[in-house]
Amino acid sequence: MLDRLRNGPFRRSAPELVRALQRLEEVRDLEIDVGVSHRIPPGRIQALARFAATAKASAIQRLPDERRLATLVAFAVTLEATASDDALDLLDILITDVFSDATKAGEKARLRTIKDLDVAASQLGQVSRLILDSAVPDAELRAAIFKALQREEIEAALGQVDMLVRPPDDMYYQELQKSWGRIRRFLPPLLKTLHFGTTPAGKAIAEALAYLAEQDGRGKLYEVRLDIVTRGWRRYVIDQDGTVDKKAYVFCSLDRLRSALRRRDLFVAPSIRYADARIGLLSSTAWEASRSTICRSLGHSLSAHETIDALSTQLDQTYRAVAANLLANPAARVETLDGKEELVLTGLDKLDDPPSLIRLREAVNARLPRVDLPEILLEIAARTEPSRAAPV
């Protein structure tokens, strides 16, 4: 059992994620909770746990009874956090692989059809040039266009462009659907095993995942949270008749889940790498003792209301200035999508590196020593001085 529990996932596959989730469930079933663990230094518990995770089972078996029991209990107490992190790491890898593979497949398919797109764009370009030609009277424009190209050719070219051109925020959903079998294999145990805590920013995605867990095995989805659906996903999630496509909604939820975990809008407990980021905040007593120093260093008032009022005033003035210059700003425009108006900003142009930065980079590179990789590893090992896993 010790060897099985301390072996985390080592393959990038859906069955391996299922095994990692089963391992987490098995750790929870141990139900080991030491009430006096808060009186033991955390470093000591971690040292015992590291020893149990790396030593041979026969070496642990030969320990004295009290030492062996303490070592195994320390390992079990810390194992749930490790097992949760291993499962979430593998989940992030799998979701990234699924979306990356879909993007690569979509781009590869697009390259195969680039010639058809070129032909269609060239034909539509001829039509556009006739429309812009001031020498062609408006009354004779349609006749001139159909003289250059037949109606059937224009319709075929337009259909080809509509079929091949992808919007900038396309999610490659057609290619993603090929990975539905992988998603379907680990999604039910994932939603059943992992229990996510939320910050205010992650509440919507947490409720969406809870709804998917309740609706597992059912056909259509009703009354889902659509506020998690981004603009790129909306055309796939919401059909023309207003119904929700279940597969598209699941893929959208997994995409948002990955982002929320990376931003720590969602977290699990216990965990090491995916814990609540707010745990490190100062407690009430410690905060009151450090409040004046921290506020003074940040340039804020000791009163939260005064600071918020000042920031609100600054935000309001900035908003009014932007609104006054919006119509004259060529980099901003308002577009209507699905009956909703959205502000679209033009991307910034890339700035060339100034000559001073280029000279600085060359000077720094010239001063860097040229060493072999083994020398770097040896120097790092000498500086870090790795200690033993646990004292004997």
Question: What is the average pLDDT across 25-35?
Answer: 78
Parse the chain into domains and list their residue ranges.
2-79, 195-280, 287-345
User: How far, in Å, CA of 20 to CA of 7, rounded?
Assistant: 9
Write the pLDDT tens digit of every residue in 269-283.
888 888 888 887 887
Write the pLDDT tens digit of every residue in 315-347.
999 999 988 888 888 888 888 776 778 888 888
Q: Identify the CA nearest to 91 among candidates 205, 255, 201.
A: 255
Query: Where are the alpha helices (H) located in the chain, listed in sequence order?
Result: 2-6, 14-30, 42-54, 57-61, 65-112, 114-132, 141-148, 151-164, 173-176, 180-193, 203-214, 231-237, 246-263, 284-298, 304-324, 355-367, 373-384
| Full 3-state SS string of 99-152 | HHHHHHHHHHHHHHCHHHHHHHHHHHHHHHHHHHCCCCCHHHHHHHHHHHCCHH
pLDDT, position 282:
81
| Range of 130-139, 316-325, 340-349, 381-390 with top mean pLDDT | 316-325
In the numeric block, the tokens 């935000």 are attached to: 315
Both tokens of residue 16? 């391996």
pLDDT band at 88 (very low <50, low <70, confident <90, very high): very high
In this model, does residue 284 exceed pLDDT 80? no
Q: Are 199 and 264 in contact (CB under 8 A)?
A: yes
Write the pLDDT tens digit of every residue in 227-247.
888 888 888 888 777 788 888
250 Cβ partners below 8 Å, 6+ apart? 183, 187, 212
pLDDT, position 269:
84
In this model, does residue 202 exceed pLDDT 60? yes
pLDDT, position 303:
86
Question: What is the average pLDDT across 256-260?
Answer: 91
Count of CB atoms within 10 A of residue 32's CB?
A: 16
pLDDT, position 37:
58
pTM of the model: 0.68
